[in-house]
Amino acid sequence: QKEVEQNSGPLSVPEGAIASLNCTYSDRVSQSFFWYRQYSGKSPELIMSIYSNGDKEDGRFTAQLNKASQYVSLLIRDSQPSDSATYLCAVTMYSSASKIIFGSGTRLSIRP
Amino acid sequence: GAVVSQHPSWVICKSGTSVKIECRSLDFQATTMFWYRQFPKQSLMLMATSNEGSKATYEQGVEKDKFLINHASLTLSTLTVTSAHPEDSSFYICSARAGDNEQFFGPGTRLTVL
């Protein structure tokens, strides 16, 4: 089992709709969770971090964390074509000395 | 926000030569810096973890004698690709972290070895 798992996609969502990206992780005692966005040919950009169960909202983005289910998600409301990118889920693993482990990413495509 | 710079942004070199890439945290002190490599359409691959003043920790399969990492200060880490070959052509990205908080990425360096 991979330490951080994401569906590779592509996930296609119409403009204006809600895009839902999901991530599961294997280390039950993980403490910190991050979502990064990576455009083709560019480096990842941090868009959300979440540390406790529940929802965290920032503009059109909402991160959701459920530690009991070892599940973290990212919702993007009012999706725009500029949201088309690969989204990387990242988790700090207690078992690997606080190293941040990245999922392989989900490609999101927003169709006009 | 936290800013991480990398230099150069791209480099082309001949096979057998060495290339040095610099990573700097501009507005914070980075206790830990990371070096990643990413091939086209593939995910990030962690190469090594670097802590200021100590030797880097390399991931399995990464040759420490080929990819030399120096973390001389809390704001600067360097990666030197020694005796580069065409298969080393890739997108090299550094990131920096202060404490246990978020990790911020540099813009990356695209290396092409002819």
State yes or no: pLDDT of A97 exceeds 60: no
pLDDT in tens, B5-36: 999 999 999 999 999 999 999 988 888 899 99
Q: Say whether A102 and B93 touch across the interface (CB within 8 A).
A: no
Report chain B residues whose CB lies below 8 A from the CB of A33.
none
| CA distance to partner chain B, nearest, from residue A23 (Å) | 15
Q: What is the mean pLDDT of chain A?
A: 91
Kindly state the tokens that stand for A97. Answer: 């000395």
Nearest to B93 among A43, A49, A98 (CB): A43
Report chain B residues whose CB lies below 8 A from the CB of A99.
46, 49
Q: What is the CA radius of gyration of chain B?
A: 13
State yes or no: pLDDT of A29 exceeds 90: no
Question: DSSP of A59-88, one letter per residue?
Answer: TTEEEEEETTTTEEEEEESS--GGG-EEEE
Q: pLDDT-derived band of residue A1, with 50, 70 and 90 as boundaries?
A: low
Query: Which pLDDT does position B99 carry in this prediction?
Result: 67
- Which positions 65-94 of A are in contact with B (Cβ < 8 Å)? 88, 90, 92
Strand A54-58, strand B4-7: pairing? unpaired
Q: Measuring CA to CA, which residue among A71, A64, A61 is closest to residue A5?
A: A71
- Which positions 26-65 of A are in contact with B (Cβ < 8 Å)? 31-32, 34, 36, 41-46, 49
Kindly state the tokens that stand for A77. Answer: 């409301």
What value does the mean pLDDT take over residues A75-103? 87
What value does the mean pLDDT take over residues B79-100? 92
Q: pLDDT-derived band of residue B39, with 50, 70 and 90 as boundaries?
A: very high
What value does the mean pLDDT take over residues A76-88? 97
Which residues partner with B22 through β-bridges?
A: B7, B78
Report chain A residues whose CB lies below 8 A from the CB of B49.
99
pLDDT in tens, B52-69: 888 899 999 999 999 999
Query: Which pLDDT does position A18 carry in this prediction?
Result: 97
For testing the chain A interface, which of B32, B105, B109, B112 should be mutated: the one with the most A CBs within 10 Å? B105
Q: What is the mean pLDDT of chain B?
A: 92
